[in-house]
């Protein structure tokens, strides 16, 4: 198990999945803690969503893709791109739910939509949004 985890951590795709699962668990913990402190379900999910999104952005940028650039000329477009991607993913998920709700359980639809968005998110993060500092440095030579 340890060797499998270590081999996954060596590849961006492995780090991407591990961080994604970790952030999902973090979101669930935020929801649980928020509700235990008296927050209602909507507020608890809101806290979990936004804290998870912020954590995911940072971990994917710095850990998964090794993009250490922090200048606002880089960071602001990345935040905008990720925000637009989140909105697009949300729209895709809602559309998939509307199209397939009569055929499949909602949890299955959400899981399939999450799988699909995870694949194109990884591609877009890797090729357009987060570029590793080492890639940028080699391209500047």
Residue 63 DSSP label: I
pLDDT score recorded for residue 133: 64
pLDDT of residue 134: 62
Q: pLDDT by residue (tens digit) across 58-104?
A: 999 999 999 999 999 999 999 999 999 999 999 999 999 999 999 99
Q: How far apart, in whole angstroms, are the C-alpha atoms of residue 108 and residue 112?
A: 6
- The boundaries of the domain holding residue 110 are 69-132
Give the predicted TM-score (pTM) of the model. 0.84
Alpha-carbon span 66 to 123, nearest angstrom: 15
Among 71, 72, 34, 74, residue whose Cα is nearest residue 52 = 34
**59 and 82 inside one domain:** no
pLDDT tens digit sequence for 1-46? 788 878 888 999 999 999 999 999 999 999 999 999 999 998 999 9
Within a domain: 139: no
- The per-residue pLDDT for 136 is 54
Same domain, 57 and 3: yes
Q: Is the dihedral of CA 96, 102, 106, 108 positive or negative?
A: negative
Domain contains 138: no
- Clarify whether residues 128 and 73 are in a common domain: yes
């Amino acid at each position: 198990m340890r060797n499998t985890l270590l081999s996954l951590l060596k590849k961006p795709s492995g780090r991407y999945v591990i961080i994604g699962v970790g952030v999902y668990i973090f979101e669930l913990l935020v929801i649980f803690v928020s509700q235990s402190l008296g927050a209602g379900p909507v507020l608890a999910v809101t806290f979990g969503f936004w804290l998870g999104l912020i954590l995911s952005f940072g971990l994917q940028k710095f850990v998964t893709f090794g993009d250490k650039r922090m200048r606002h000329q880089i960071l602001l477009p990345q935040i905008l791109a990720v925000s637009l991607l989140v909105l697009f993913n949300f729209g895709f998920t809602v559309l998939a739910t509307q199209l397939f709700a009569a055929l499949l359980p909602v949890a299955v639809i959400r899981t399939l939509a999450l799988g699909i968005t995870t694949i194109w998110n990884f591609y877009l993060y890797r090729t357009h949004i987060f570029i590793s500092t080492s890639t940028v440095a080699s391209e500047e030579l």
